[in-house]
Amino acid sequence: MKIGTVTFWHSKENYGAMLQCYALVRYLNKQGYEAKLLRIKAETGRDLKYPKLFRISNMIYALFHPQSFKRLKYKMEKKASSEVVERGFGDFLERNIPAYPHVYTFDEINTHPVDAEVLICGSDQIWSGVSRTYFLQMCGQFKRISYAASFGGAKYENPYATFMVKKWLKTFDLVTVREEEGLETCERLGIRATLAPDPTMLLDRGDYENLCREIPHSDEKPYIFLYLLGKEISIDVKDIFEFAKREGIDVKYVASQGRSDEYEKLYPTVEEWIALIRDAKYVITNSFHGTVFSMIFNKPFLTFPIVGESERMNGRIQTLLGRSGMKDRIYNGNLSVLFQPLSFDAFISDITSRRSQITSLLQEAIKQ
């Protein structure tokens, strides 16, 4: 069975985006399918052709909505502070993720049908915008499946967007989402959906250790691996470094997506990023996938919720940690929680059960 996966694949600095892309293809191939990444040049939320009336209503909404100016200010600040450093993501994709040779536009894939019987979109926040690409609305007689797709907190306030998303989801043979709020969104749209773990959790720790097997284990003193996306958090980075200094522990700091501060940063490859978690004593992060990999490697961790503009993204952390009884690892003003005892038994039990369930569900949908 030939399967094409459709997801975010072109990041230059978001390790989670690249690893979820890797994990889904890897998992499907381990199940005996012939899966490849289908690379499509999609601009989330921009490739839906709105009727003129709704384009005008969107403009009026943007002018008067109180959050519009905050969003514009945030995007401008992020762009001004953004620093893109080469981290070898393209090389990682080429070495580790089987892909169709051509990179398509949406129109090209309609005129040059891909050699696949099933298309699977997901994971990550592919449904945070209204995109024909990520809702698999290209031409062809495919089975359409979403795997752990995330709405990223999107509410689809525009009536036309809501209408189109509902219409598109009805073309799917199976809809699975990553967050509980995604289930609520689908229920509101009248779509039956199932909760599924992020694809990075479908693989074993050994799969990731194999990726970084050529990177020697660190023989330095114990360290905190600090991984921060460029999202606003309720603590200054300075406070984290001062905390680590008081505790007599080093910090290895990786940042992305426009985070700007005075502290020295590392710019690892994907494999080196995994190795940094593998060898860390502790992990502090505001990243969903930083949290996921801390759990996979059984590392004591502390997760900062996002505040401000992107606060709606916190649902994924709430779902992940809530299922494993680890909500106390969400930062609430006390960094010392990092050192409190932590059991991963509930997480291991939950993810083992969910892997089995989702494997059966996918097999049934693909064979129908």
Q: Is the pLDDT of residue 76 over 60?
A: no
Q: What is the mean pLDDT of residues 177-186?
A: 93
Mean pLDDT of 65-71: 50
3-state secondary structure the chain: CEEEEECCCCCCCCHHHHHHHHHHHHHHHHCCCEEEECCEECCCCCCCCCCHHHHHHHHHHHHHCCCHHHHHHHHHHHHHHCCCCCCCHHHHHHHHCCECCCCEEHHHHHHCCCCCCEEEECCCCCCCCCCCCCCCCCCCCCEEEEEEECCCCCCCCCHHHHHHHHHHHCCCCEEEECCHHHHHHHHHHCCCCEECCCHHHHCCHHHHHHHCCCCCCCCCCCEEEEEECCCCCCCCHHHHHHHHHHHCCEEEEEECCCCCCCCCCECCCHHHHHHHHHCCCEEEECCHHHHHHHHHCCCCEEECCCCHHHHHHHHHHHHHHHHCCCHHHECCCCHHHHHCCCCCHHHHHHHHHHHHHHHHHHHHHHHC
Same domain for 48 and 80? yes
Domain membership of residue 141 (yes or no) is: yes
**267 and 144 in a common domain:** no
Residue 20 has pLDDT above 90, yes or no: yes
Any domain includes 270: yes
Statement to judge: residues 121 and 177 lie in one domain: yes
Question: How does pLDDT run across 206-247, given as a tens digit for each residue?
Answer: 999 999 999 999 888 999 999 998 777 888 999 999 999 999
Q: Are residues 243 and 192 in the same domain?
A: no
Kindly state whether residues 134 and 45 are assigned to the same domain: yes
237 and 125 housed in the same domain: no
Quick check: 61 pLDDT over 80? no
- Both 315 and 359 in one domain: the answer is no
What is the reported pLDDT for 78?
A: 47
Same domain? For 340 and 359 the reply is no
Together in a domain, 289 and 329: yes
Kindly state whether residue 211 falls inside one of the protein's structural domains.
no
Residue 6 lies in a domain: yes
CATH code where residue 245 lies? 3.40.50
Residues 34 and 170 in one domain: yes
Residues 50, 171, single domain; the answer is yes
Count of domains observed in the chain = 2
**pLDDT of res. 35:** 98
Is there a domain that residue 212 lies in? no
Q: Within this chain, do residues 47 and 79 fall inside the same structural domain, yes or no?
A: yes
Is residue 134 pLDDT above 80, yes or no? yes
Report the range of poorest mean pLDDT among 140-144, 212-216, 304-308, 346-350: 304-308
Note down the domain range covering 174: 2-203+352-367
